Amino acid sequence: MFPFCFEWVWDMPHMVFMGGLWYALSIIGAGLTFAVVKSIIDMKSHDGQNQEHH
Amino acid sequence: MNGMPLIPAGVNRCSKRRFAFWMAAVTAVLVWGVYAMFLIWYKGLNQTRMNDAYGFALWIWADLSVIALGGGAFFSGFLTYIVGKDKLANIINFAVIIGFICYSSALLILTIDIGQPLRGWFIFWHANVHSMLTEVAFCLSCYFAVLTIEFIPLILENPRLAKKPFLNHLTHNMHGVMPIFAATGVFLSFFHQGSLGGVAGVLYGRPFAYREHVFIWPWTFFLFTWSAAACGPCFTILGIWLTEKITRKKLVKQDVIRLLAKISGWMIITYIIAKTADTLYWAFVTAPSRGFTLMDFYSSPTYNIGLLFIEIVLCGFVPGLILITRKGRENAFLLMSAVILAVMGVSLNRWVMVLQVMAVPLFSFDDWFTYMPSWQEVATTILPVAYGLIVISLAYRYLPVFPQEQELNPID
Amino acid sequence: MKEKHDYERARRYGMVIDLDKCTGCGACMVGCYMENNVPFKPDETNKLDSINWIRVYKLNNGKPYPETEICYLPMPCMQCDGVDLHGHSPCVSVCPAVATDYDDDTGIVSQIYTRCFGCRYCMAACPYHARKFNWWDPVWPADMKKALSPDVSPRMRGVVEKCSFCFHRYQLARNKAYFENRQNEPLGEDDYQTACAQACPTGTITFGDLNNKAHAVHQLKTSPNAFRLLERLGTNPKVYYLTAKNWVRRQGDNYLTDEEPGKLKQKR
Amino acid sequence: MKINRRNFLTYTTAAALGGAAGTLLTPVPWKLMDDAAIWTQNWPWTPVPEAGPVSYKPSICTLCPGGCGIYVRFSGNRPVKIEGMKEHPVNKGALCPMGLSGLQYLYGPDRVRSPLKREGKRGEGKWKKITWDEALAAVTEKLASLRKLEEPQSVACITGMEGGTLPSLIGRFLTVYGSPNLMRQATAQDAGAQAVFLTQGKQGTPGFDIENADFILSFGSGMLDGWGAPGRMSRLFGARNTAQRFIQIEPRLSDTAASANRWIGINPGTEGALALGLAHIIVKESLYNKHFVETFTFGFNDWNDEAGVAHTGFKALLEGYGPENVSRITGIQEALIKSLAREFAGSSRPIAINGRGKGALPGGMNETLAVHALNALMGNINKTGGLYVIPELTYAKWPDLGMDGIASRGMRQPRCDGAGGDLFPNSRFLLNRVPTLINTTKDGSPVEALLVVDANPMYTLPDTAATRKAFERIPFIVSFSSYMDETASYADYILPDHSPLERYQDVPAPAGMSHQVISLAVPVIKPLYDTRHTGDAFIHMAKALGGFIEEAFPWNGYEAFLEDTLQGHWRILKKKGVVEIIETPAASDRFTFNTASAKYEFYPTARAGTGKRDSDVLPAYAPAILDGDEKTFNLILIPCDSIRMAGDHMASSPFMTKTVDDTVLKKQMTLVEINPATALKLNLEEGGKALLKTPKGKASVLIHLYEGIMPGLIAMPRGLGHTAYSEYLANKGTNINELMGPIEDPASGLDMAWGIRAQLFRV
């Protein structure tokens, strides 16, 4: 899974597969971080007011 | 805080007593399953009737089936967020819940199924990128994470939680980035649905399962994704229909259902044509090159050629044709028959691609291998059903799952 | 990058099993049990729940008395080279956790018991049923633990095991060669033999390096009577069988009614 | 910011979540998971074998009479594997599954770990651990009291078939004690030995030079199913040259038949008739070795005795065995009988062998004589590729016996099995007759005390129910078994012997070998448990009994006795483990016979006597009269042997049982083989349940359809159905001896049974 695991090889299959994986994980991570951070900022700026979102 | 209502505003729910009674009944089944599960963890897989010939059995079928049926989530998400079928936003919550249940169940079943559950994480840590199962494990868990993320905003819409400012903002912001998650989910789903097909298709030692490859993917890779996308929505429709029957309420407008049914119908028809082509090529080119005739694979009383007919014609072409015709979709009986047939069809396909693969003898001095699950296997397979019912019940009671419910069931 | 496996030059250990010599005595099985710490249960009659690294099958020509013939067929792990001889044997390519691997030095398919987490995908992939699962905790009654060999680690419940061509013997032979300062020479036939080949009282099993002209298997495998099990699947087993009986050969693979064993165009 | 309950909760939750997230970024969770994974390898029931320096110790496998050479592989001081000894003349490296799993007989769960005294009822399994002093004192006391009553002949001893000096030591003990009743269960080898005595006048066992024969005609001998020394037989089969022909004659396609060049199905029990039928053709067509027959044999042609009485010879006997007649008896086509006879006689070194399966049952004496006659017709006696006689070893070095009156009187009593008496003068022991003799005695039992050494008669004797009934009437039973076998578990005292790898045992004349090989099994490991060599136990008892008995045993232990006995061989044996004596008799000695006529006797004069007609003396075809009426019991049950199963007193090891196919044993049930045609008539299906009934008993069995068995027969594997031992062997299937009874051969008294009538019902 990580390049420091001993079965890791820098070959095409590993790069494609793990590339895809880490790519997906980064998107999920970034998306989540964005939502959480933005919510904190929003909460501060709206002074704790609820927001209509529908 | 305690004064806040738990039940969403503007909808009617049954009495606490009645709900508790229902939950107790389902929980009893759940406890039975959990008991079996612990028995298996404690005593080992000898509690099952799997054997060296039948290393994959009931669970793997259940696993593949729930994932295929949970395919409604990714495909609805794809249609709603990416294609832009806004109408489907009315069922996307339910589709996500079904998906969540299916995928969490699948992961649970996998932890029961492996001989050394404490080493389960080796699949990530020591991943073999050539194995279809590795691909399944990665995409499955990632997609489960996505489903959880998709489920969270809905949970946060519970009236009591929605009062918290941070959670309120979080809901809003998560909705904002949802198309990105949905797209990621579609990407992951495409691969893991496919790699589940690949699991069987790459088995070149098993001529019943083996299929010719396109690049590194066997045909079953595409057929599995395709069939999950085609039949998953049918399971969503079936779920909605059952919920409506149980709650005795109309929850989703019929035009939404019909739209989903129409898309599903076209998917099924195209899928089954592809599946037919695949079957013909396999039966007349791939298998004979390995010394097998088609009937070699269907020579047992259990696994006879009738199965192929049921899978392709009865549970493939028939529901597909019903769903692509307007009259079929508009007739409630035909619609639901088609939906049930399609769900059965995809489940049967998964059954065949797991259990029949194991059953077919490869040597003339071997007989067909037989297998009957033990009660522990049955209990742990029913466990997700009970679990699913509990999650749906809770979600339906406390969360605004169906946006059209208020409109369809106005409270005087 | 993984070094490309040199099929012609590298060692490829294999077996040639002369079915016309096999009397079905089962000595190979017992020799293997003892060598490899194979466990045993009070009831071993369910052969699908019985751990055997090599199992002797009984084939029957199906003809009525007194035209009946039987033939015994010992079946160890075939140590497949896989499609196109790349080492992607049916099992190795599917194991999600690299718990089984193809050794480029010897062509032997390994199994790491402590790595295996028991998903059994390899068992589903193997057409020879060579892989066995530890459905039960192994139990050694009375003082039987004292007979366990330290060369092969006993397995635990929930993992897959299979014939290793007695790989530990290869390692011991290499160590010995190193101490005797002949590490640069290829191992001789006698330096490394599997327990079953050694135990076989009739000399049915010949073991050696298929690529080494000095080893008997090199020549034996080219016999017109040689065939491999289910070779039409493209598994490329390194276990060859010899028989003069056509009916046995026919049962070793699948043939359409108009096909004749040995007369098909074969990929090597 | 004020801390109140609400935001306190929020902050703690946030902190916990943050902490959890933070931890995930450290190696801690991975380390913990890794530990969990490692823990699964350290389950206390997953052993880690201790490593040690590797060494090999040579010895001899004594699990069967084969006497194969072995190397025991050690890891440190633990024996971990048994491998064949390449340089041993018998097996040359080859071993059978039993020998390979020998360590399971050392470490296994069936071992008796200390002397035991019965506590509950017989066979109940309640035991009290006692010391060796107590155990030996109890047995000695019983023996002394029987001597005091002047009834030493009421002590009997059953020994194993291994031969060697231990039975001789026990025989010496019994002689000086005053009992003639030393017995063992006769096998085909004993029938062969008697045939050798009758035809050649020599005491010894027949040896077959299969190595050099070019045509092997086996009358049902399971050459590859455990007959003779299995290691040797398998090795010979693997190394045979293509010119060698091997014909197997039996009603069932056994593993031996499957490996033969040709398998000829025959009506069961008619092998003797076929041998005579073949001889008929050979004689009629003058294909026999005329020089040998004319010069060195007696009774081939008709002859007149000293009194001038005319007698018929062997040639005249053969008149009645023309191909037509023999074909009718055996079910083999006339043309095949003729061609077989010509092929046999046309070979340069043909050899005929008999003894069904492993040779567990002796069979009829006439049948053995008829087969030996085939060898004699070809002159293949005591020469390359032929039938040799391995003379019995004599142990001259022992001091002469002094015997008191009690002993002398006791020794003059008739044997309790009737062997050597008027009825069966040429038989040395007839254990098969003992149960019936005990059961038909009106009061009490002729046997007051029974000592059982290396034997398990309660399992191995035919007609288990009768044996059990007889044993019930024996007041005092002592077993010296190392294992909790059926007899041991029924005994009053168990004085456990060392297991084979823990004890000295000399192995002369391995079964079937063509020349003398003496091997010595040496202990490779100190005894694991509180056991004692049976030889030591007997020497100890002799000393305790005092008087002449003590004087007869001047040795301080079995090892000293063995050293004294083996004399010159001892040093070589201690060093090499084996002495090989290959005697190539000088051409002049080769055909020297010790019979009355000093010739090879086709007409065994030793059988002649008052009232005996020529037809009683010549080896006419005398079929065994099977128990049961033909109409009710319309099928015939025959035992079948497999090298993967042991049917003798050494039971199968767990690993042997593990190799047994599921077409032989399924869960706790034996599968019997029947022909699909028979099954069709009886409405039986593969794997179906059935009830098997014989005049001796009944058993619940499963059905296995097998094309390779003659229609009308039922084959049942020998070696299953143990009631004692551990769960690895007990209650698995049916013991065929429960269904089969002995049939007394009128000529020898030996058990001539090869089957029994039976019926089979679907249930």
For tokens 């099990």, what's the residue?
C229
- Which string of b and e fits B73-111 if b means at least 16 CB within 10 Å? bbbbbbbbbeeebeebebbbbbbbbbbbbbbbbbbbbbe
- Judged by a CB distance cut-off of 8 A, whether residue D686 touches chain C is no
- Judged by a CB distance cut-off of 8 A, whether residue B299 touches chain C is no
Does the structure show a pLDDT above 90 at D590? no
Cβ pair C124:B130 closer than 8 A = no
Total number of domains in chain B: 1
Pick A18's closest partner by Cβ from B129, B171, B174: B129
All residue ranges of chain C with pLDDT < 70 are 1-9, 265-268
All residue ranges of chain A with pLDDT < 50 are 48, 53-54
What tens digit of pLDDT does each residue of B113-141 get? 999 998 898 898 888 988 999 988 988 88
| Token representation of residue D462 | 């035919």
What tens digit of pLDDT does each residue of B245-274 get? 999 999 999 999 999 999 999 999 999 999
Phi-psi region of C201 (alpha: psi -120 to 50; beta: other; left: phi over 0): alpha
| Token representation of residue D88 | 């041993």
* Whole-angstrom distance, CA of residue C135 vs CA of residue D193: 51
Cα torsion angle, D593, D597, D600, D603, sign: negative
Cβ pair C254:B292 closer than 8 A = yes
Pick B187's closest partner by Cβ from A24, A35, A48: A24
* Contact of chains D and C by CB distance (3 or more pairs under 8 angstroms): yes
Q: Give B1's contacts in chain D (Cβ within 8 Å).
A: 6
In this prediction the pTM is 0.93
- Closest approach of B139 to chain A, Cα-based (Å): 8
Residue B1 lies in a domain: no
Domain ranges of chain C: 13-251
Q: Give D710's contacts in chain C (Cβ within 8 Å).
A: 65-66
Contact B144, B108 (CB under 8 A): no
Pick D40's closest partner by Cβ from B1, B118, B121: B118
* Whole-angstrom distance, CA of residue D711 vs CA of residue A3: 69
Pick B44's closest partner by Cβ from C120, C131, C158: C158
Average pLDDT score, chain D: 92
Q: Please tell me which residue of chain A has the smallest CA distance to B138.
A: A21
Please say whether the structural domain C13-251 has been given the CATH code 3.20.20.70. Answer: no
Please say whether the structural domain D116-186+393-581 has been given the CATH code 3.40.50.740. Answer: yes
Q: Give C158's contacts in chain B (Cβ within 8 Å).
A: 44-45, 114-116
Does the structure show a pLDDT above 80 at D5? no
- Judged by a CB distance cut-off of 8 A, whether residue D675 touches chain C is yes
Instruction: With H, G, I as helix, E, B as strand and everything else as coil, classify residue C94.
Output: coil
Q: Give D40's contacts in chain B (Cβ within 8 Å).
A: 116, 118-119
- Judged by a CB distance cut-off of 8 A, whether residue B2 touches chain C is no
Chains that touch C (3 or more CB pairs under 8 A): A, B, D
- Could you report the predicted ipTM of this complex, rounded to two decimals? 0.93
Alpha-carbon radius of gyration of chain C: 19
What's the pLDDT score for residue C84? 82
Residue B9 lies in a domain: no
Closest CA to D473 of D512, D499, D440: D440
* Whole-angstrom distance, CA of residue D702 vs CA of residue D690: 6
Cβ pair D84:C139 closer than 8 A = no
Q: Give D728's contacts in chain C (Cβ within 8 Å).
A: 40, 42, 141
What's the pLDDT score for residue D512? 82
Cβ pair A9:C2 closer than 8 A = yes
Q: Give A7's contacts in chain C (Cβ within 8 Å).
A: 98
What's the pLDDT score for residue A51? 52
- Which string of b and e fits B181-190 if b means at least 16 CB within 10 Å? bbbbbbbbbb
- Closest approach of C1 to chain A, Cα-based (Å): 5
- Closest approach of A12 to chain C, Cα-based (Å): 9
What tens digit of pLDDT does each residue of D101-140 get? 999 999 999 999 999 999 999 989 999 999 999 999 999 9
* D580 to B183, D67, D127, D210, D576: CA distances (angstroms): 84, 12, 44, 17, 11
Cβ pair B118:D37 closer than 8 A = yes
Pick C98's closest partner by Cβ from A7, A10, A11: A7
What tens digit of pLDDT does each residue of D527-539 get? 999 999 999 999 9
Closest CA to B95 of B392, B412, B367, B314: B392
Would you identify the CATH topology of the domain D635-762?
Answer: Barwin-like endoglucanases (2.40.40)
* Whole-angstrom distance, CA of residue B224 vs CA of residue B333: 28
- Closest approach of C263 to chain B, Cα-based (Å): 13
* Bridge partners, D127 (sequence order): D118
| DSSP-derived pairing of the beta strands D669-674 and D697-705 | parallel
* Whole-angstrom distance, CA of residue C174 vs CA of residue C10: 15
What tens digit of pLDDT does each residue of D454-492 get? 999 999 999 999 999 999 999 999 999 999 999 999 999
Alpha-carbon radius of gyration of chain D: 30
What is the H or E stretch that residue D760 is in? strand D756-762
Cβ pair B142:A25 closer than 8 A = yes
- Judged by a CB distance cut-off of 8 A, whether residue A24 touches chain B is yes
* CA-CA-CA-CA dihedral for B136, B137, B140, B143, to nearest 10: -120
Contacts (Cβ under 8 Å, ≥6 apart) of D661 = C47, C58
What tens digit of pLDDT does each residue of D702-744 get? 999 999 999 999 999 999 999 999 999 999 999 999 999 999 9
What's the pLDDT score for residue D583? 64
The separation between the first and the last C-alpha atoms of chain A, rounded to the nearest angstrom, is 41
What's the pLDDT score for residue B395? 95
DSSP annotation of C153: P
Cβ pair C135:B364 closer than 8 A = no
- Closest approach of A2 to chain B, Cα-based (Å): 7
For tokens 């034997």, what's the residue?
D455
- Which string of b and e fits C88-104 if b means at least 16 CB within 10 Å? bbbbbbbbbbbbbbbbb
Contact C233, B363 (CB under 8 A): no
Count, in order, helices (H) and strands (E) of chain A. 1, 0
Angle subtended by helix axes D271-284 and D334-346, to nearest 10:
70
* Whole-angstrom distance, CA of residue B50 vs CA of residue A48: 57
Q: Give A9's contacts in chain C (Cβ within 8 Å).
A: 1-2
What tens digit of pLDDT does each residue of D236-281 get? 999 988 889 999 999 999 999 999 999 999 999 999 999 999 999 9
Residue B4 lies in a domain: no
Between positions 10 and 49 of A, the ones with CB within 8 A of C are: 10-11
Pick B121's closest partner by Cβ from D33, D39, D40: D33
Say how far residue C20 (Cα) sits from the centre of its chain: 18
What's the pLDDT score for residue B288? 95
* Whole-angstrom distance, CA of residue D14 vs CA of residue B338: 49
For residues D152-164, average pLDDT: 88
* C61 to D302, D359, D661: CA distances (angstroms): 50, 28, 18
Cβ pair D30:B125 closer than 8 A = yes
Contact D383, D515 (CB under 8 A): no
Closest CA to B100 of B135, B137, B67: B67
Q: Give B121's contacts in chain D (Cβ within 8 Å).
A: 33, 37
- Closest approach of B81 to chain A, Cα-based (Å): 16
* Whole-angstrom distance, CA of residue D139 vs CA of residue D541: 8
What's the pLDDT score for residue B1? 45
Closest CA to D192 of D382, D344, D376, D387: D387
* Bridge partners, D311 (sequence order): D303
Alpha-carbon radius of gyration of chain A: 19
CATH of region D210-385+590-617, choose from 3.40.366.10, 3.40.228.10, 3.40.50.720, 3.30.70.20? 3.40.228.10
Q: How confident is the model at residue D4 (pLDDT cuts 50, 70, 90)?
A: low
For residue B343, what is the domain's CATH number?
1.20.1630.10
Residue type, D158: I
Closest CA to D517 of D242, D180, D205, D128: D205
Domain covering D54-107: architecture: Single Sheet (2.20)
Q: Please tell me which residue of chain D has the smallest CA distance to B119.
A: D37
Selected for mutation to probe chain B from A14, A15, A17 (highest B CB count within 10 Å) is: A17
Q: Give C137's contacts in chain D (Cβ within 8 Å).
A: 43, 45-46
What tens digit of pLDDT does each residue of D75-110 get? 999 999 999 999 999 999 999 999 999 999 999 999
- Closest approach of B140 to chain A, Cα-based (Å): 11
Alpha-carbon radius of gyration of chain B: 22
* Whole-angstrom distance, CA of residue D106 vs CA of residue C143: 8
Count, in order, helices (H) and strands (E) of chain C. 6, 10
DSSP annotation of B78: I
Interface size between A and C, measured as CB pairs under 8 A:
6
Closest CA to C127 of C94, C174, C154: C94
* Whole-angstrom distance, CA of residue D163 vs CA of residue D184: 10
* Contact of chains B and C by CB distance (3 or more pairs under 8 angstroms): yes
Domain ranges of chain D: 5-39, 54-107, 116-186+393-581, 210-385+590-617, 635-762
For tokens 């770990």, what's the residue?
D113
| Token representation of residue D300 | 């081939």
DSSP annotation of C87: S
- Closest approach of B245 to chain C, Cα-based (Å): 39
* C48 to B49, B388, C134, C234, D659: CA distances (angstroms): 10, 35, 11, 25, 13
What's the pLDDT score for residue D695? 96
Residue type, D159: T
Cβ pair B165:A14 closer than 8 A = no
What's the pLDDT score for residue B38? 96
Q: Please tell me which residue of chain C has the smallest CA distance to B359.
A: C124
* Whole-angstrom distance, CA of residue B309 vs CA of residue B319: 14
Closest CA to D208 of D231, D232, D225, D226: D232
Contact D261, D541 (CB under 8 A): no
Q: How confident is the model at residue D312 (pLDDT cuts 50, 70, 90)?
A: very high
- The burial of C3, by beta-carbon neighbours within 10 Å (0-12 exposed, 13-18 middle, 19 or more buried), is given as exposed
| Token representation of residue B277 | 């082509």
- Judged by a CB distance cut-off of 8 A, whether residue D38 touches chain B is no
Angle subtended by helix axes D323-330 and D334-346, to nearest 10:
110
Does the structure show a pLDDT above 90 at D46? no
Q: How confident is the model at residue D584 (pLDDT cuts 50, 70, 90)?
A: low
Q: Please tell me which residue of chain A has the smallest CA distance to B142.
A: A25
| Contact residues, chain C to chain A, C-beta under 8 Å | 1-2, 98
Q: Please tell me which residue of chain D has the smallest CA distance to B1.
A: D6
Cα torsion angle, B164, B170, B175, B178, sign: negative
Q: Please tell me which residue of chain A has the smallest CA distance to C98.
A: A7
Q: Please tell me which residue of chain B has the smallest CA distance to C132.
A: B52
Cβ pair B172:A14 closer than 8 A = no
DSSP string, B304-343: BTHHHHIIIIIIIIHHHHHHHSHHHHHSHHHHHHHHHHHH
